[in-house]
Amino acid sequence: MGALDLSFFNRELITNFLWNGFVFSVELTLVAMAGGILLGTLLALMRLSDRSWIALPAAAYVNTMRSIPLVMVILWFFLLIPFLTGRPMGAEWSAVITFTAFEAAYYSEIMRAGIQSVSRGQVYAGNALGLTYAQTMRLVILPQAFRNMLPVLLSQTIILFQDTSLVYAIGAYDLLRGFSTAGRNFNRPVEAYLLAAVVYFVISFSLSSAVKQLQARIAIAR
Amino acid sequence: MQFRWEWEVFLRDTGGGETYLDWMISAWGWTLTVSACSWVVAVLAGSVVGTLRTTPSAWLGRLANAWVELFRNIPLLVQIFIWYHVIPAIYKPLQEVPSFILVVLALGFFTSARIAEQVRAGILSLPRGQREAGLAMGLTLAQTYRFVLLPMAFRIVIPPLTSESMNIIKNSAVAFAVSISELTMFAMQAQEETSRGIEVYLAVTGLYMATAFAVNRVMAFFEARLRVPGYVGSDH
């Protein structure tokens, strides 16, 4: 084989191929994280409800999402959204909706564990103070659940960031697509995929090291 | 909105002398084969790496740590591309190897990082006295692992291993990216050729869910068979 030739990796490559993809991957991660945690918290509250007509649909949604490969979920949404709305939707927007809906199922399992980790006395205390259910949840339980689960929520977000590469299946232009397009254009696939691996590794590894430190600090505070 | 089911799509000819149903079943076979082979690679590599992380040797531990971090922090799809495009370019003999093998190695090593974590946690969850007792009896370190620690650790690891086995089935879907003719690849191509995406996707999704459920039951069977009397979860 020829030696690795990284000469094509320059400023132009970054601005022409990689930057847009990188921005999209980050946006997709952040939007799906925010939306997923919000929806996931709602799903978790639904699942913990005493009324089965509220709990069962939430459980069914979460279990279905968790038992299907993400790639299939991506394909499903890409097929169904235009079918239901009657107009075509770009791969990027479809990916944003898919990841929000999909990650909500995983975040909801984390939030459910978080809510259950708060002692029952806290609920009684809220009730005794005359707070409504909504107030008890919003002001007493959820802040503690969220704090307890913060490292796990962030770890899930790192997995989410890695999973965004799967939008490859519907041709959305993300970080990986940027690298593979550049590799094809310069006829340097080996170098392009190696660089892609390095970039993903550096981002994921530094984020998970940060989460580990955060975890240690939270553990001491408790 | 008007929508009519058209399940007959599965009886249509693909143009190659077989029906879409035939194709889907052979695709399911590929999904099962890729998953099963990757599972073997993952459990073997994961057990070795996870065990090494608990041995007293510092440099073996660091090596094993590096393995876990490397395979855990790169997306599976990127790892598949690395195995497919990069490694054969660097190591020529791999160019002769079918892409099926490369995908099995990619998915197997990717999963081995997770299994290594679980094996390590399983070994570390055993009371320290077990290791000391083994060594005090005059067993070598290797014998202590072989006869004392690992038999217990593997039983502890079965529940997380079950969910990892179900994950392998789901993750095998990523093999579509290098044109392995598995279920997701079938779904994408059949959808394109027949325009009956909903029927095709429903059937494929159903097969994935049925497979994951079957794996879950098989692992539950082994968990029940391998239970150690006297521990939480055993009814003896």
Q: Which residues fall within 8 angstroms of residue B98, CB to CB, at 6 or more apart?
A: none
For residue A6, pLDDT beyond 80: no
Closest chain A residue to the Cα of B208, Cα to Cα:
A68
Q: What is the pLDDT of residues B145-158, one digit of tens each?
A: 999 999 999 988 98
For residue A1, pLDDT beyond 60: no
B74, A200: Cβ pair inside 8 Å? yes
Chain B contact residues (CB < 8 Å to A): 1, 69-70, 72-79, 81-82, 85-86, 89-90, 92, 166, 169-174, 176-177, 184, 187-188, 191, 197-198, 201, 204-205, 208-209, 212-213
Q: What is the pLDDT of residues A97-106, one digit of tens each?
A: 999 999 999 9
Task: Please tell me the distance from the alpha carbon of residue A167 to that of residue A74, in angstroms, as a whole number.
Answer: 7
Q: How confident is the model at residue A187 (pLDDT cuts 50, 70, 90)?
A: confident
pLDDT in the model for residue A139: 95
pLDDT in the model for residue A10: 76
Task: Please tell me the distance from the alpha carbon of residue A68 to that of residue A160, in angstroms, as a whole number.
Answer: 16
Average the pLDDT over A121-148 and give the result.
Answer: 93
Task: Name the residue among B73, B79, B187 with its Cβ closest to that of A75.
Answer: B187
A166, B77: Cβ pair inside 8 Å? yes
Task: Please tell me the distance from the alpha carbon of residue B9 to that of residue B193, in angstroms, as a whole number.
Answer: 11
Average the pLDDT over A144-165 and give the result.
Answer: 94
The reported pTM is 0.91
For residue A113, pLDDT beyond 70: yes
Q: How far is A50 from chain B (nearest CA, A)?
A: 27
Average the pLDDT over B103-120 and give the result.
Answer: 96
Q: How confident is the model at residue A221 (pLDDT cuts 50, 70, 90)?
A: low
Closest CA to B45 of B56, B34, B33, B53: B53
Q: CA angle, A33 as apex, A29 and A38 as ends, to 5°?
A: 155
Tokens of B145: 């692992």
Does residue B236 or residue B8 have the better pLDDT?
B8
Of chain A, the percentage scoring pLDDT greater than 90 comes to: 80
A193, B82: Cβ pair inside 8 Å? yes
Mean pLDDT estimate for chain B: 91
pLDDT in the model for residue A3: 66
Average the pLDDT over A60-85 and give the result.
Answer: 94
For residue B179, pLDDT beyond 90: no
Average the pLDDT over B2-12 and give the result.
Answer: 87
- Name every chain B residue with its beta carbon within 8 A of the beta carbon of A170: none
Could you tell me the maximum CA-CA distance found in chain B, to the nearest angstrom?
A: 77
Q: What is the pLDDT of residues B186-210, one digit of tens each?
A: 999 999 999 899 999 999 999 999 9
A72, B81: Cβ pair inside 8 Å? no
- Name every chain B residue with its beta carbon within 8 A of the beta carbon of A1: 89-90, 92
pLDDT in the model for residue B226: 86
Task: Please tell me the distance from the alpha carbon of residue A102 to that of residue A30, in angstroms, as a whole number.
Answer: 14
Q: How confident is the model at residue A15 (pLDDT cuts 50, 70, 90)?
A: confident
